[in-house]
Amino acid sequence: MRFHPRSILVLLAVAVIAATNFASAASKDDIRSTFTRFINAQNAHDLKEVGNLLGDSPDFLWISQGHVVRKRDAALERFRTLFKGKWRIDPDWSTFQILGLDISTMEVFVHVRTSDDTSAGKAQMNVILVNTAQGWRVQNIFVSSG
């Protein structure tokens, strides 16, 4: 049985596409799971779990409501302050989207509702996650009103 080079190329292309789709689906499940853990940790005001999910890179950046936080330690201090109040964040899962920036970097887009003792609001949340040796970690958080 002899294969033509063109047949081999077609078979290889199909194999690569199938592997890419499988890896992408697995990654998207992992991304949604990591993002869900991140939201749940915030709602539980669990500083340790939030810390476990934050990337430890000098490029860590969190921009939200006039606050700019750089680096993981500063983010943990900001969360510690926020966790003193009563608040929660609820994603509108129907708006949840994942954009693959490259094989190890994904961006999540989702509309969220925020609430505390006195008010409620809506925002757009963008979170960049990177795949590290410890798994997917939150590298950047961008929250804008409305």
Task: Report yes or no on 138 lying in a domain.
Answer: yes
Q: 14-53: per-residue pLDDT in tens? A: 444 444 443 455 588 999 999 999 999 999 999 999 999 9
Q: 44-56: per-residue pLDDT in tens? A: 999 999 999 999 9
- Over range 120-125, report the average pLDDT: 93
Apex 74 CA angle, 69 and 76, nearest 5:
110
Task: Report yes or no on 10 lying in a domain.
Answer: no
Task: Report yes or no on 127 lying in a domain.
Answer: yes
Task: Tell me what pLDDT residue 7 has.
Answer: 55
CB count in 10 Å sphere of residue 53: 21
Is the confidence at residue 60, as pLDDT, over 90? yes
**Residue 106 Cα distances to 12, 82, 92, 111, angstroms:** 26, 26, 19, 17
Task: Report yes or no on 103 lying in a domain.
Answer: yes
- Over range 1-18, report the average pLDDT: 51
d(CA 132, CA 20): 19
- Residue 145 binned pLDDT confidence (cut-offs 50, 70, 90): confident
How far is Cα of residue 102 from the mean position of the Cα atoms in its chain?
14
Task: Report yes or no on 1 lying in a domain.
Answer: no
Task: Report yes or no on 5 lying in a domain.
Answer: no
Task: Tell me what pLDDT residue 116 has.
Answer: 82
Task: Report yes or no on 4 lying in a domain.
Answer: no
Tokens of 37: 């853990």
- Residue 1 binned pLDDT confidence (cut-offs 50, 70, 90): low
* 116: CATH: 3.10.450.50
Task: Tell me what pLDDT residue 22 has.
Answer: 38
Is the confidence at residue 64, as pLDDT, over 50? yes
Q: What is the domain range of residue 121?
A: 27-145
Q: 68-103: per-residue pLDDT in tens? A: 999 999 999 999 999 999 989 999 999 999 999 999
Task: Tell me what pLDDT residue 15 has.
Answer: 46
What is the DSSP code string of 61-96? EEEETTEEEESHHHHHHHHHHHTTS-EEEEE-GGG-
Task: Report yes or no on 2 lying in a domain.
Answer: no
Could you give the number of structural domains in the chain? 1
